[in-house]
């Protein structure tokens, strides 16, 4: 985003209007998203400001969108699904997001959680995500440039961790940073051929896992060292 959108652009008109957003919500409902709070937040957050202005007319389509640096903004169903999967088993006091990307998922979480911590390896993407959150007056998000494989230990444990890029195997640091009282991690696991969306819950030292559905995410890039 080169310049900050004005009030009219922020509210949206035509293909980016509240009506376009409502059509997106109707589609989410028809695909089985039923959490009222998640639907309300997604009806309110202007998704079109999270992509380049040239793509904003496609922001409410049922599709992933490029955000630069070879990364993508997840489609609306995926964001709604991941958010619902953590919300249905947590009060979302403290949430860690791995993969800030455009900041859209971050913003949706910030409306539902008390505090959001978000980690991203590409500083330029995170800078834009931060400005968008500021534009929306979201004051409960903190960002950090780092390799998400290591989580953000100092701020944990977390009630919920949402990982929006796929590792080959679940990073043990993320399980370690879950609250032992039912902390929940939602994460795609696998390679670019086959991925599963998984949900893990931690009770003390016991980890329960649930295979939710097929997933399609960009890889969680392995940088080997904490950034
Ligand atoms: N939640 C984002 C989706 C971004 S796509 C949104 O709503 O737009 C996944 C993001 O994960 C990308 O921005 C990518 O740069 C980031 N990513 C990939 N590997 C990472 C790693 N090892 N550590 C932190 N972020 C990573």
pLDDT given for residue 115 in this prediction: 98
Return the bridge partners of 210, or none: 199
pLDDT given for residue 227 in this prediction: 52
- CA atoms of 146 and 100, how far apart (whole Å): 11
Query: Could you identify the atom of ligand 1 that is nearest to the CA of residue 102?
Result: 8
pLDDT given for residue 18 in this prediction: 86
At how many degrees (to 10) do helices 76-87 and 36-44 cross? 140
pLDDT at 8 over 80: no
pLDDT given for residue 158 in this prediction: 98
pLDDT tens-digit series, residues 22-71: 999 999 999 999 999 999 999 999 999 999 999 999 999 989 999 999 99
pLDDT tens-digit series, residues 119-165: 999 999 999 999 999 999 999 999 999 999 999 999 999 999 999 99
Which contacts (CB < 8 Å, 24+ apart) does range 221-226 have? Answer: 221/121, 221/147, 221/165, 222/147, 222/149, 222/167, 223/121, 223/147, 223/149, 225/147, 226/146, 226/147, 226/150
How much is the mean pLDDT over the chain? 94
Q: Which CATH number fits domain 66-215: 3.20.20.210, 3.40.50.720, 3.40.50.150, 2.30.30.60?
A: 3.40.50.150
CB atoms inside a 10 Å sphere around CB 217: 23
CB atoms inside a 10 Å sphere around CB 115: 18
pLDDT at 12 over 90: no
Per-residue pLDDT band at 1 (split at 50, 70, 90): very low
Report the sign of the C-alpha dihedral through residues 13, 14, 15, 20, in that order.
positive
Return the bridge partners of 28, or none: none
Average pLDDT of the residues in 9-18:
79
Per-residue pLDDT band at 11 (split at 50, 70, 90): confident
Per-residue pLDDT band at 168 (split at 50, 70, 90): very high
pLDDT given for residue 101 in this prediction: 97
Q: Which residues line ligand 1 (CB under 6 A)?
A: 67, 71-74, 98-99, 101-102, 104-105, 119-122, 125, 147-149, 164-165, 218, 220-221, 223
Percent of the chain at pLDDT > 70 equals 97
pLDDT given for residue 15 in this prediction: 76
Probe target for ligand 1 pocket from 46, 164, 170, 216, with the most ligand atoms within 8 Å of CB: 164
Burial 43-78 (b: 16+ CB within 10 A, else e): eebbbbbbbeeeebeebbbeebbebeeebbbbbbbb
Q: Residue 191 has which token pair?
A: 């390679």
pLDDT given for residue 186 in this prediction: 98
At 133 the three-state DSSP class reads helix
Probe target for ligand 1 pocket from 101, 145, 146, with the most ligand atoms within 8 Å of CB: 101
pLDDT at 14 over 70: yes
């Amino acid at each position: 985003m080169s310049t900050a959108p004005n009030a009219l652009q922020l509210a949206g008109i035509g293909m980016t209007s509240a009506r376009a957003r409502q059509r997106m919500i109707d589609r989410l409902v028809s695909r089985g998203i039923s959490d009222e709070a998640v639907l309300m937040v997604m009806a309110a957050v202007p998704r079109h400001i999270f992509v380049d202005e040239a793509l904003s007319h496609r922001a409410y389509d049922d599709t992933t969108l490029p955000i630069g640096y070879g990364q993508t903004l997840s489609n609306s169903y995926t964001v709604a699904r991941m958010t619902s999967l953590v919300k249905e088993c947590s009060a979302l006091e403290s949430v860690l997001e791995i993969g800030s990307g455009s900041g859209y998922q971050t913003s949706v979480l910030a409306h539902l959680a008390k505090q959001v911590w978000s980690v991203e390896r590409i500083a330029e993407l995170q800078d834009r995500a931060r400005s968008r959150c500021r534009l929306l007056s979201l004051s409960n998000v903190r960002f950090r440039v780092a390799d998400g494989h290591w989580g953000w230990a100092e701020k944990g444990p977390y009630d919920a961790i949402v990982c929006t890029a796929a590792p080959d195997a679940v990073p043990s640091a993320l399980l370690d940073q879950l609250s032992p009282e039912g902390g929940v991690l939602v994460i795609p696991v696998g390679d670019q051929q086959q991925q599963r969306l998984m949900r893990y819950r931690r009770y003390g030292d016991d980890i329960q896992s649930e295979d939710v559905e097929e997933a399609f995410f960009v890889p969680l890039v392995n940088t080997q060292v904490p950034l």
